[in-house]
């Protein structure tokens, strides 16, 4: 799971995505994977624990791509009016990772 590159605290993906929802064209960014990843990597996030800022490129790109997929897979995952994420993204990512590992084990 994502950790602050400066203080090492665990980060909540929903909180990170909500920081991006403040962008003017957020609704368009969240519809196209390439545009999302480009914006994500250059976006300056603020750690809720230490208050320091860092670029998205310092976070796991694979997780960011999964977050994008989850947000687009579930209708109503973002409350655009209040700029809030309705999904528990960290829990869904953990479940997804667990299922991937299980698949690898089963397939041998």
pLDDT tens digits along 50-108: 999 999 999 999 999 999 999 999 989 999 999 999 999 999 999 988 998 898 888 87
Rounded CA Rg of the chain = 14
The per-residue pLDDT for range 20-30, each reduced to its tens digit, is: 999 999 999 99
Round to whole Å and give the CA distance between 69 and 13. 13
- The pLDDT assigned to 1 comes to 86
Higher-scoring residue by pLDDT: 4, 104: 4
DSSP 39-92: HHHH-EEE-TTT--EEEGGGS-HHHHHHHHHHHHHSTT-EETTTTEE-S-HHHH
The per-residue pLDDT for range 62-74, each reduced to its tens digit, is: 999 999 999 999 9
- The pLDDT assigned to 53 comes to 98
Q: What is the mean pLDDT of residues 7-13?
A: 97
């Amino acid at each position: 799971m994502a950790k602050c590159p400066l203080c090492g605290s665990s980060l909540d993906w929903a909180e990170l995505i909500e920081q991006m929802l403040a962008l003017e064209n957020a609704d368009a960014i969240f519809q196209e994977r390439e545009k999302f990843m480009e914006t994500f990597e250059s976006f300056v996030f603020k750690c809720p624990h230490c208050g320091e800022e860092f670029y998205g490129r310092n976070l796991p790109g694979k997780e960011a791509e999964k977050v994008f997929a989850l947000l687009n897979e579930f209708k109503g995952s973002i409350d655009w009016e209040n700029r809030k994420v309705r999904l528990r993204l960290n829990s869904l990512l953990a479940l997804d990772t667990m299922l991937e590992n299980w698949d690898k084990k089963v397939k041998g």
